[in-house]
Amino acid sequence: MSALDRRTLLRGLGVAGASALALPGLAAAAPDLTFRIRHQYRPFDLIAPGFAGGDRPVAPFCAVTLRASGAVAAGLVGPGTAVRGRFAAGVASIEVTVGGVTTVVASGAATLPAEFGFAVVVNENAVTVLADTGSGWQPLLTERDGVRALIDLRDPAVLRRLRYGHEGSASRVRSGYYGYAGVRDPHVVQYADGRPYVRDGKLYLTLTCAGLGFFQQAHWGVFTLDLRDPTRLEQVAQLYFARDGLVLGDHAGQIVVDGDSYLLAMSSWGDFDFAGVHIRYVRTSRDVLHGVHVLPTSRLPLPTTVSSWDPAMTRIDGQWHVAFVESPAQSPAFVFHPALARGRSLTGLSLVGADLTVDQTEGTIIQRLGREWYVLASDGDARVYKVYDLRMRLQGTLDAPYGTNIPHPMVVPVHGKHWLLTFDGTQYAEPVLGYGGHGDFIVMTT
φ/ψ region of 119 (left if φ > 0, alpha if ψ in -120 to 50, else beta) reads: beta
The pLDDT value recorded for residue 16 is 35
pLDDT in tens, 16-50: 333 344 444 454 444 468 999 999 999 999 999 99
Burial of 413 from C-beta contacts in 10 A (0-12 / 13-18 / 19+): middle
pLDDT band at 208 (very low <50, low <70, confident <90, very high): very high
Instruction: Please state, as a whole number, how many other Cβ atoms lie within 10 Å of the Cβ of residue 383.
Output: 22
pLDDT in tens, 261-270: 999 999 999 9
pLDDT in tens, 211-256: 999 999 999 999 999 999 999 999 999 999 999 999 999 999 999 9
**In the predicted structure, residue 52 carries a pLDDT above the cut 90:** yes
Share of the chain above pLDDT 90, in %: 92
β 91-98/101-109 pair status: antiparallel
Which residue spans of the chain are classified as CATH 2.60.120.560?
Answer: 46-179
Average pLDDT over residues 169-186: 98
Output the CA–CA distances (angstroms, integers) from residue 396 to 78, 393, 403, in the order listed: 57, 9, 18
β 233-243/291-296 pair status: parallel
The pLDDT value recorded for residue 97 is 98
CATH of domain 4-44+181-445: 2.115.10.20
Decide if 219 contacts 121 (C-beta within 8 A). no
Which residue spans of the chain are classified as CATH 2.115.10.20?
Answer: 4-44+181-445
Range 46-179 classified under CATH 3.10.450.50? no
The pLDDT value recorded for residue 302 is 98
Grouping H, G, I as helix, E, B as strand and the rest as coil, residue 380 is coil
Distance of CA 144 to the CA centre of its chain: 19
The pLDDT value recorded for residue 416 is 87
Q: Which amino acid is at 92?
A: A
The pLDDT value recorded for residue 109 is 98
Q: How far apart are CA 115 and CA 156, in angstroms?
A: 36
Q: Among 354-358, 367-371, 398-402, 433-437, which stretch is predicted with the lowest mean pLDDT?
A: 367-371
The pLDDT value recorded for residue 111 is 97
The phi, psi pair for 310, rounded to 5°, reads 55, 60
pLDDT band at 11 (very low <50, low <70, confident <90, very high): very low
The pLDDT value recorded for residue 110 is 98
The pLDDT value recorded for residue 6 is 38
